[in-house]
Amino acid sequence: MKIKAINPNTTLEMTENIGTVANKYTSDETEVVAVSPERGPISIESYYDDYLAVPGLLDEILKDEDDEYDAFVNSCWGDPGLDACREVTDKPVVGIAEGSMYVANMLGANFSVATILPRARDFIEEAVRKTGLEDHCASVRCTELTVVETENTRDAAADALLEASWQAIEEDGAEVICLGCAGMGGLDEPLEAALPVPVIDSVGAGAVLAEALVKLGKQTSSIRTYKPPESKEIVGYPDRYQL
């Protein structure tokens, strides 16, 4: 099995870490290839960043003209463009936000998201609502971390996430913690060792769920919501966008 984990931003160090984490959690028979688009923001921390990232994300799925991959992982916690991704392929596409929350929901009565800087709160809460799990989300706890800092300042990131997680547990009653950024990949184990609750690595959860869907032999339903787009002329994009 071969899975493509797409980091919708263009920070290659983060992409490399996404691949490392995804391959750690999937089985030895599964290969996860992590990629970044050729264009897009270096991080996704706003709706503007989110929308700028989607064309490059779609491009990485549309490149699979030879059916090299069995599934895709949308490796940003906002799950940018997830619905559009599912329209252009019948292969499973798992977002790390939805994946981590679904896993968290099976491990506790509620969960909290420990995430990046406060301006991303609405962005993160929208991702929670999209899953239908808002009644199970105890809180969204923001830090002062940027996306890039989660990757480049690991010790400081771990300290900030530990503080936010304790606040979620003690003040909000959280029973599970979701790490709300792909750049936090790999921090789940040290945080879980310091906390009394499970901590979910979102990249790992997304990759394992994508692997499971392939093993189950399932494809995305295209009967209505994710029916392929109507064929039409698309100006200024590569030929592969002409569906």
Tell me the pLDDT tens digit for each residue of 172-226: 999 999 999 999 999 999 999 999 999 999 999 999 999 999 999 999 999 999 9
Q: Looking at the predicted structure, is the pLDDT value of residue 229 above 90?
A: yes
Each residue's pLDDT tens digit, 130-178:
999 999 999 999 999 999 999 899 999 999 999 999 999 999 999 999 9
Domain 2-95+205-241 has CATH 3.40.50.12500: yes
DSSP 166-225: HHHHHHH--SSEEE-SGGGTT-HHHHHHHSSS-EE-HHHHHHHHHHHHHHTT-----SST
Q: Which CATH architecture has domain 98-201?
A: 3-Layer(aba) Sandwich (3.40)
CA distances from residue 42 to 5, 54, 108, 109, 179 in whole angstroms, order as listed: 17, 13, 34, 35, 19
pTM: 0.96
Q: Please check whether the two domains, 2-95+205-241 and 98-201, share a CATH topology.
A: yes
Residue ranges per structural domain of the chain: 2-95+205-241, 98-201
pLDDT (average), residues 31-60: 96
Confidence of residue 241 (pLDDT cuts 50, 70, 90): confident
